[in-house]
Structure 1
């Protein structure tokens, strides 16, 4: 393929790879909401079983900073491409083994223990995925396309949700409830093996990042890149808090709401999965539009618009869900999905360029993963506890508003040293905050 098309190929490969990784990650969330409580935690009450299942979902988020730190370290020392291949392999193996895992009825307490271990493996894999895919797209892109190309791996998240939801929906509709609970839930996990092979073929054909190659050529590779990142809390702390709202509300929508509507008998599980698919498609479609908007108007203002929309939507979201109508549920979720997209479109470039090239994989991966723990890991658990205590979604909405205020402050605080816009084309961003000299 000719040189001008290489950045597009890299961005597209990043999109496909992240879609596969997020498919693996979110089929677990769907299964945790629908079937894991009786399959792996039958010895406790339904509420306790649901909390236990959602807690294992959260383990994947807790593991993500570990994956981000380890793969970020080697990504900054050995290269982005190698770590992307490793992350996909780790995720694929973990997901396949979950699909083969015996339940509590077969092996007793070993079943939930192994489930937690494999979920941790999934978290390790995805912890290094986002940073590597975003950086490879960003660092291959021409100056005027950095925001747009780095947004494409973000599209992989909602597309992974679409793929996971569609597979679960087809399996649910094709099997009776007993067969789905007995073995049908395993099909989406086993299908992952085919997708991972496809993703590996794509990634093995990618070139290394030219910006990383420049760092290596100039002997600027850091011995301990994560340590350099940790010494700059003024960058790391707001970077880690930047995405807590999107991560938190997204996992309330994708995980908690499935169980919420089922418990209150508002809409059927299959209908909710279909709503999730529509929402994720809107989310995926708006992300590149938000990136183009940010390239013209500035990344921070667009992120602030997305954060404001989601914060203001916290209460209407549950009001509409509680109507018990398909239209109300669809409206609640689609508006939220559009808000996620607006906040996410410029997010990859804004976060990544807050860190200099030599430590960018470590900084971006750890910040993203820590934000996901603070937002996404805790949100379904907190929402379940608040709903059990109050019986309504009002307290959950208040919690989402708090997350919104955290993201608002972080967005205003983080300084990402890039031009206000991507137009006209400008040189690659300076590596000023942490770099000893330009890379």
Structure 2
């Protein structure tokens, strides 16, 4: 049976009810994973400066706090490397479940940390260690969750189902910001700073239970089952099985760099919008933290609609064209965005954030399907995860820190707009160089591609 026939049979065997259950489990797992990871960004903007770095003052404490936020991103490629290797060799589900357990325990530990007033600088040291572990967990998560859906999905709806993983990320942000907002409404600032901020972190233990649930309720993808069968056949003939990570880096380093570049402006603007703007709105525009949380919460909630919409649109017009359009729009909007925010009008700020998040969704919606289609089955987890997580280090992890430092040094938001524009150009160039493999056969391996090229040259 040919690879294409295997793919067709596997997709035909997946009932709609099963896709619904799989999508629900994947969205829940992703939402809780990113809730745990991203409540840190909110706490970094509002809490961690005075709690762990009181001696550095306002701007200094915020910069130090955002620096610990960036630490988690440094660990993400390592988590992606470990999970990618295991996922390509042993299955997509195992690394996903393991990442949720690691993330849940690390997040709960942050909720138990004493501050500077209790143990001095050791509080910051322990905070950094916990953040590193969080980075490992979330670095392992995205590839597994994205491939569970894209490799199960009908080929004509791959963009839509892949976008649901991205939407799960947004659900995590919405739940996290809502959590902080509700806590802030029911307690004073002193109570919030003393112990209220810990409640969202302690809820990370829920993720461990969800990990167990996912382990029991879902099975691995048809693509990986095909890989298993082919690996078993190769092993029976004595063929040497190459390490997936080494093969991905050796044969598909260009695609890994393209994926990283594609994610650059997407990841950076996401953290500018959800974290950097909290600090900017309070300290530069003069709004209180509750108002800024509401602005971000209202605006990002629109992505619950826009991300699946653009994911589904990519199933009709392709991923690359849509992604290139989003990069252009983000670069152009970088300047009007701050003009609108600097008015100080809550309505105008919400409008600016909604436009920013909608442009972000133009790229973020089709991203899972784009990345899945860039790599063959036997190195897909390794390649997609590594590209995704490399960008997270240099883009998302540093974005709030760079934004705060630029404004502190120049006093001008124009420098941040130029920063966003530069990243948009980088992303546009990276995506422009990607070869469109819209609705490609995801069962195809690197050996199939090699054999097809050899046959074409005969």
More helix, by proportion: 2
Q: Supply the distance in 2 between the matched residues of 1:123 and 1:304 (Cα, whole angstroms).
A: 29
Corresponding residue number in structure 1 for 2:426: 406
2:185 matched residue in structure 1: 173
Q: Which one of the candidate residues 243, 247, 251 is aligned to 2:267? A: 247
SS in 1 for 2:114: coil
Partner deviation per Cα, 1:377-432 (whole Å, 9 max, x = no partner): 1111111111001112110000000000000001111224334xxxxxx8546445
> Gaps (5+ residues) in structure 2?
1-12, 236-240, 453-458
Cα distance in 1 for residues equivalent to 2:309 and 2:286: 33
Q: Deviations over 1:330-373 (max 9, x none)?
A: 01110011111111111111112111111111111110011111
Whole-Å Cα distance in 2 between the matches of residues 324 and 212 of structure 1?
A: 52
Query: Residue 59 in 1 paired to residue 71 in 2?
Result: yes
Q: Deviations over 1:51-101 (max 9, x none)?
A: 110011011111110100011111111111111110000100000000011
* Counterpart-to-counterpart distance in 2, 1:162 and 1:153: 15
Number of the residue aligned with 1:204: 216
Find the aligned partners of 2:207 and 2:163 in 1 and give their Cα distance.
22
Superposed counterparts of 1:20-419, under 5 Å: 20-219=32-231, 223-231=242-250, 232-419=252-439
Q: Deviations over 1:12-42 (max 9, x none)?
A: 2111111101100110000000010111111
Distance change >3 Å, CA 273–CA 42, structure 1 → 2: same
Q: Mean alpha-carbon deviation: is it higher for 389-398 or for 429-438?
A: 429-438
The ranges of structure 1 where at least 4 consecutive aligned residues each deviate by more than 3 angstroms after the TM superposition are: 1-4, 220-223, 426-438
Change (3 A) 1:203 1:329: farther
Q: CA RMSD in A?
A: 1.9
Contact 2:143–2:381 at 8 Å: present in 1 too? Answer: yes
Deviations 1:256-306 (A, max 9, x none): 111111112432211111111112211121111101111111111111122
Paired residue total = 432
Structure 1, residues 206-231: CA drift from partner, whole Å, max 9, x if none?
Answer: 01111011011101795421111212
Of 85-94 and 7-16, the range deviating more from structure 2: 7-16
Alignment CA distance shift 1:416-1:63 (3 Å):
farther
Q: 2:63 and 2:212 mapped to 1: Cα distance?
A: 35
C-alpha separation in 2, matches of 1:4 and 1:214: 21
With over 3 angstroms needed to count, the CA separation of the structure-2 counterparts of 1:315 and 1:211, relative to structure 1, is same
What SS class does the counterpart of residue 415 from structure 1 fall into? coil
Normalised by the length of structure 1, the TM-score is 0.94
